[in-house]
Structure 1
Amino acid sequence: MSYQCPLCQLPLERHPRQWTCGKHSFDCAKEGYVNLLPVQFKRSKQPGDSAEMMQARRSFLEAGHYQPLRDAVALHVDAIVADDAAALLDIGCGEGYYTAELAQRLTSHRTMTIYGLDVSKAAIQRAARRYENVEFCVASSQRLPFRDASLDAVVKIYAPCNDAELQRTIKVGGWVVTVSPGPRHLYQLKAEVYDEVLLHPSKDETLVGFQLMEQQTLAYPMQLSGNEAVALLQMTPFAWRATPDVSERLRAAAAFSCETDFIIRLHQRVDSGAVA
């Protein structure tokens, strides 16, 4: 296994009911995950999204509106990851919507471990109960609890992460696949919230220690019911700026059309002496 202790960075070894490095131990939860987020690394009492945001995201994703993105990411990763790859990490995995598809596709013809990491204990609990073929952990994306050069690939969908940690944990020749919003992502939803709608800024994405090998755009329209539009709003940061009448207006709508605009980037880990 690829875990390392978040406190002393020694390798963690798995025992029947806990992970230990000899100095520190971390209990395995009954759902199967391990909590590798020491209390001193928490920025709040309950890190991660609120229960309302998680419920909204679950409802929206299970309706299938982001399935084209899930399929595209899994297809890209399957195409670039080596046949002898041993480990992939999904950072900010939430309740495992994308992680599960990655696990199903990649392990169908490889012997490898799929990890899912999130700072939200509630999200990881639900993910671990549902997807037994993934190793889930509660941890910080700023201090990845993985050994140096132990990962063949990392998937990062909207999730923040410390670039130095990616460089440390991913093998030379390995990959980071990122997803970020394109200029017109959720344009119509933003128009319901803001008086002046600004396009997402278009900027290059540079990861130290990696070479951008490919960039693609995935854009398609979504036809949502009123309740689905409300769920979409509640799972985005726009919800913090939306007045109550925005939700009421969306919920009352017979249908709501909204654009998606995703940018998928494939970055490959290069030797330390190479240009990033």
Structure 2
Amino acid sequence: MSLICPLCHLSLSAEKNSWRCAQGHQFDRAREGYVNLLPVQHKGSREPGDSAEMMQARRAFLAAGHYQPLRDGVAELLAARVSTPQPQLLDIGCGEGYYTDAMATALQPLHGQVYGLDVAKIAVRLAAKRYPQVLFCVASSQRLPFADASLDAVVRIYAPCNEAELQRVIKPGGWLLTVTPGPHHLQQFKALIYREVKLHEPESKCYAGFTQVEQQSLGYPMTLNSADATTLLQMTPFAWRASEDVWQQLRAATSFECDADFTLTLWQRD
């Protein structure tokens, strides 16, 4: 088992309704099936992460299929690269599990274990209730509750992370898949908010201890109704800059055309 105790870093063993380490630290399994591995001293706030209202809105937006091509692209890329029997895979910042479930389905023939991790308890609760094939945990991406060199792959879709932790938990030869905004991603929202629309910079980040082996661009147009358009804006950093006039314009629109544009980059652990 890859999970470790967030307090003493010893291995966790699954019991009937809890996880325990050799030091006697115990973490109960919630009714929905997830485990909370975020000690109170690591929370940073009372309820870190997105609110319940935001998570429900995000779930509705994703269920409408607007990001289905990205979901499929991530799953296909993993299925093409991860080939070891019984692989261990982690989705960092899994949210309500939309992408995590697709990863688990893609790797099902290999009989591995897919984990979903998020700091927001409400997100993990929703995910665990809907996707029982994934083991979800509440935890910080800055202190991953996984043993050294225990994971065959880690997926990072927009999520913050600690790069030293990625080096620590991914096996030599293992994979890191990142998803970042492509140059034209949601440029129509930018046009509503900024006087000058600047394209996203190309992904040029390097991860110490990893070699980039593949990069794909995935772009397509979306036609959104007013509810989905306002939800999508809420899901972006642009929301903080949007004026009330912008929100009213989106709520009144019968449809809103915008571009989805993603960059998928695959790295291999040296």
Pairwise same-fold verdict (TM > 0.5): yes
Quick check: 1:33 aligned with 2:38?
A: no
Deviation string, structure 1 residues 201-237 (Cα, Å, up to 9, x no partner) = 2341211111000111101110111221111111112
- What is residue 86 of structure 1 aligned with on the other side? 87
1:1-276 to 2 correspondences below 5 Å: 1-23=1-23, 24-107=25-108, 109-270=109-270
- Letter aligned with residue 208 of structure 1: A
Partner of 1:49, secondary structure, is coil
Partner of 1:174, secondary structure, is strand
Whether the 8 Å contact between 2:11 and 2:22 is mirrored in structure 1 is no
Deviation string, structure 1 residues 34-92 (Cα, Å, up to 9, x no partner) = 00000101111111113333232112111100000000000000000014142100000
Counterpart CA distance in 1 for 2:194 and 2:51 is 23
- When normalised by structure 1's length, the TM-score is 0.95
- Letter aligned with residue 246 of structure 2: V
Counterpart CA distance in 1 for 2:58 and 2:190 is 17
Counterpart CA distance in 2 for 1:38 and 1:44 is 12
The Cα of 1:27 is off from its aligned counterpart by 1.0
| Residue identity (%) | 61
Partner of 1:79, secondary structure, is helix
- Letter aligned with residue 194 of structure 1: Y
Counterpart CA distance in 1 for 2:202 and 2:71 is 22
Whether the 8 Å contact between 2:4 and 2:146 is mirrored in structure 1 is yes
Counterpart CA distance in 1 for 2:161 and 2:139 is 12
Q: CA RMSD in A?
A: 1.1
Whether the 8 Å contact between 1:52 and 1:234 is mirrored in structure 2 is no
Q: Which runs of 5+ in 2 are unaligned?
A: none
Deviation string, structure 1 residues 219-259 (Cα, Å, up to 9, x no partner) = 11101112211111111121122122212111211211101
- When normalised by structure 2's length, the TM-score is 0.97
Change in CA separation of 1:159 and 1:209 when aligned onto 2, cut-off 3 Å: same
Counterpart CA distance in 2 for 1:238 and 1:110 is 40
Deviation string, structure 1 residues 173-192 (Cα, Å, up to 9, x no partner) = 11000000012110001211
Change in CA separation of 1:203 and 1:196 when aligned onto 2, cut-off 3 Å: same
The Cα of 1:110 is off from its aligned counterpart by 1.0
Counterpart CA distance in 2 for 1:75 and 1:58 is 22
Partner of 2:159, secondary structure, is coil
Alignment: residue pair count: 269
The Cα of 1:135 is off from its aligned counterpart by 0.3
Partner of 2:75, secondary structure, is helix
Counterpart CA distance in 1 for 2:31 and 2:211 is 40
Q: Which is worse superposed, 2-11 or 80-89?
A: 80-89
Partner of 2:50, secondary structure, is coil
After TM superposition, the runs of 4+ consecutive aligned structure 1 residues lying more than 3 A away are: none
- Letter aligned with residue 167 of structure 1: Q
Partner of 1:195, secondary structure, is coil
Whether the 8 Å contact between 1:96 and 1:116 is mirrored in structure 2 is yes
- What is residue 274 of structure 1 aligned with on the other side? none
